[in-house]
Amino acid sequence: MKRHISREKRDNLTGYLLIAPAVLAIIAVGIVPVIITITYSFEYYLLTDPQNRQFVGLQNYIEILGSSAFWMVLKNTAVFAVISMVLELFLGFAGALLMNGARKGTRGVIRTVVLIPWAVPGIIIAYMFQFLFNNQLGPVNVILSYFGGASDFSWLTKPWSAMLVVIVADAWKQFPYIALMLLAGLQTIPQELYESAAIDGAGKLKSFFHITLPNLKGILLIVLLFRTMGAIRIFDIIFGITGGGPASSTATLLYQAYKYLFTDMNYGKGSAMSTIITVIILAISILYIRVLGKRDDE
């Protein structure tokens, strides 16, 4: 005799049993710590002064938002996010179109070349670029001097050029991912569309804007939002190349939070900064899931 549990109940039970380990893990190492961080953010909590730990309400937030450092790192984050994204999208498109135009064998080679930066630890890429742009030992100045540039330009001691090196390093690591996503998108566009456009007399540029771009809209959106988040969360590249300097000119929101937490040992303030970052990221992700959800419904 079999017990009669309705199929619906059984499916519910199986479903929950199967997702339980993953969900519990995510709650334990993701959601719970974030909640604790939020509670710290309302406290005076200095590792060097644990006796006086106490609830201070919005004090940390008021201090952060009132400091000029906050607006500076916010500006740095925005500058970094926008410029690196434009650069990465441009290079990503170039890479994707190059791969799409290549014969199968060549495409495999390019794809491998492109995947490697994605797979190499960010900190190693950071040191690679720090060394490339080193004013005395790096090859960039040597190569530039062949073209009449200064041979001892000190890239990492000036705010604008330090930011530039960080952006270039990040773009070099990240654009391959964008290129691969776009390539995957390009390959789903039916070839006939281009053929009939060519018969109608459309040039290459015209078919790019009228066929390629509209068909890639979904992927572009995902890539954009992913990269926005990546730009907010960037850490190891800045840590390795500039350490946030010179004079905090390459410190992002996240880097500032790291400094509060692990240089100043100020868990209250650092947690408030981390909470601000989390809120910004969650706002963007909700937008992202909304957009994705819409695509699924279509």
Q: Report 210-269 residues binding other proteins (CB under 8 A).
A: 218-219, 222-223, 229, 232-233, 235-236, 239-240, 254, 257-258, 261-262, 267
Q: Which stretch binds other proteins (CB under 8 A): 13-21, 51-59, 62-70, 79-87?
A: 13-21
Of 77, 122, 82, the C-alpha closest to 251 is 77
The answer to the question of residue 34 lying near other proteins (CB under 8 A) is yes
Q: Enter the DSSP assignment of 43.
A: E
| Main-chain phi, psi angles of 61, to 5 degrees | -65, -40
Report the residue from 21, 105, 148, 201 that binds other proteins according to the rule CB under 8 A: 21
Choice between 12 and 157, CB closer to other proteins: 12
Report the residue from 44, 70, 127, 208 that binds other proteins according to the rule CB under 8 A: 127
The answer to the question of residue 166 lying near other proteins (CB under 8 A) is no
Choice between 155 and 258, CB closer to other proteins: 258
Report the residue from 29, 65, 198, 213 that binds other proteins according to the rule CB under 8 A: 29
Q: Which helix (H) or strand (E) holds 15?
A: helix 7-26
User: Do the Cβ atoms of 159 and 249 come closer than 8 Å?
Assistant: yes
User: Least separation, in Å, of the C-beta of 40 and other proteins?
Assistant: 7
The answer to the question of residue 5 lying near other proteins (CB under 8 A) is no
For the record, the structure tokens of 77 come out as: 């984050």
Report the residue from 113, 150, 198, 247 that binds other proteins according to the rule CB under 8 A: 113
- Give, as ranges, the residues between 52 and 91 that touch other proteins (CB under 8 A): none
Choice between 83 and 232, CB closer to other proteins: 232
The answer to the question of residue 144 lying near other proteins (CB under 8 A) is no
One-letter-per-residue 3-state SS of 98-151 = HHHHCCHHHHHHHHHHHHHHHHCCHHHHHHHHHHHCCCCCCHHHHHHHHCCCCC
Choice between 112 and 191, CB closer to other proteins: 112
For the record, the structure tokens of 23 come out as: 């969900």
CB atoms within 10 A of CB 136: 8
For the record, the structure tokens of 241 come out as: 């190349």
Report the residue from 5, 58, 65, 124 that binds other proteins according to the rule CB under 8 A: 124
Q: Which stretch binds other proteins (CB under 8 A): 58-66, 69-77, 176-184, 191-199?
A: 176-184
For the record, the structure tokens of 131 come out as: 């060394």
d(CA 158, CA 27): 43
d(CA 219, CA 70): 33
User: Least separation, in Å, of the C-beta of 129 and other proteins?
Assistant: 7
The answer to the question of residue 209 lying near other proteins (CB under 8 A) is no
> What's the Cα-to-Cα distance from 248 to each of 207, 245, 253, rounded to whole Å?
45, 4, 11
